[in-house]
Amino acid sequence: MKFKRKIAPEIKPRQNFITKKRLREDEIDFDKLRSYRLDRVRKELVKNNLEACILFDPVNVRYALDTVNMSVYNMHNLTRYCFVPVNGPTILYEYFNCEILSKHLNLIDEIRPAITWDYFSNGDQANLQLSKWINEVKDLSNNYFKSKKIAIDVLNGPAVAALNKEGIEVVDAKLILEQARLIKSPDELTCMKAAIEVAEKGVSKMRSDLKPGMTEDELWSILHKTNIENGGEWIECRILSSGERTNPWMQESSNKVIQQGEIVAFDTDMVGPYGYCADISRAFVVGNKFNDEQKKLYSMAMEQIDFNSRLIKNGVNFREFTEKSWVLPKEYYPNRYSVMVHGIGLCDEWPAIRYPTDGGERGGTFQKNMTITVESYIGKVGGKEGVKLEQQYLIGENGLELMSHHPLEDI
């Protein structure tokens, strides 16, 4: 069935702009990329006996319809969302007066103003606005999901309660979208390569500019600048530390002054061009002269990543991987990283494979054209410093293809 697109009246630009092509732009078939992703979402809905979903998470909205607007803002405000049915029109509910931003996207059949009911936007009118949104969902249900069951990824308590009161059951759309995003198309892989290339450009500049006397924040800003000026979008975390702040891990960059001979370690977590994530970790020593303890930490981190990456092949299940994975020595185990392996795409994705004592994912299987990262953090309990390394891979027919190519340190 063909649906006629409805959008805001076109506003003609005042002038023509000269734009510079982004990295690998000519290699990407964007129509094919978008159709593949939307089709994956719809197939997962069918697989789970669902007729439709409503997506608020900007990353999920981007995956389904490739539309972007104020992504970070909309991660904590329910002011932009989309409706994706198995059979029916895709509808983007756009932020105030922004309908024109997505008029070029032909997989969006209709664009409507978003109905918001958060207190920030509506104050004492919030309940009235919520009633309007509930009526909108009821109308969608009457036309496109008559089962009265809808998958939604992010929603606040009052909205869930109000939908339940109307006999509409809400189920979690997280499973739907995580499984949809699991297997990457060739165009997605090209997008990911572009993002990694931008990240590694920034990492190389960080390494060359690293010197004693600069702050962690000054060093970290180099990656941000490189990302933005090459069409990237944001960085999910601020995980960079130096010296004794590298142990234990997960400390965010600060105004600490970096000293000669210290380890500097970081995790890019960078959402780059086309919205895809480059997630690699590197560790440097200021002055490039590793002492014996630093060499030991770095060698162990490399050994863990090399060992674990060799276990991963198409068809290997997560339980088998966990049971055979590299054994972290007991004096380092309490400071272990949260995962050994996780999926990667538009951001960190399913699965999250944890250490044996931490539970985590057990029921899945590594599959061809999944993209993953393999992680290591080595820091002894009570030790002075630690080393964080992470590599990004594509799962091929017979093993892993390395996607991150910034060289590790020669120790």
Name which of 232, 175, 212, 197 is nearest 289 in CA terms. 212
Alpha-carbon distance values, 134 to 129, 138, 296, 316 (Å): 9, 6, 59, 45
Which CATH number fits the domain 25-180, given the four candidates 2.10.69.10, 3.40.50.720, 3.40.350.10, 3.40.50.2000?
Answer: 3.40.350.10
Here the tokens at position 241 are 């530390």
- Topology of the domain covering 186-402: Creatine Amidinohydrolase (3.90.230)
Quote the pLDDT of residue 359: 83
Domain boundaries, the chain: 25-180, 186-402
- In angstroms, rounded to a whole number, what is the distance separating the alpha carbons of residues 135 and 392? 45
| Phi, psi of 84, deg, nearest 5 | -125, 110
What's the chain's length in residues? 411
- The pLDDT assigned to 4 comes to 55
pLDDT value of residue 241: 98
Distances (CA, A) of 374 to 265, 300, 315: 16, 14, 17
In terms of C-beta density within 10 A (0-12 exposed, 13-18 middle, 19 or more buried), how is residue 167 classed?
Answer: exposed
For the chain (411 residues), the mean pLDDT of every run of 10, in chain order, is 53 66 95 98 98 98 98 95 98 97 96 96 95 98 97 96 98 98 98 98 98 98 98 97 98 98 98 98 97 98 98 96 96 98 98 91 91 98 98 95 97 86
DSSP state of 77: S
Specify the residue for token string 């803002």. 73
Distance between CA 5 and CA 21 in Å, rounded? 28
Residue 149: exposure state from Cβ atoms within 10 A (0-12, 13-18, ≥19): middle
User: What is the rounded CA–CA span in Å between residue 292 and residue 285?
Assistant: 12
pLDDT value at residue 80 = 98
What is the distance between the alpha carbons of residues 89 and 283, in angstroms, rounded to a whole number? 48
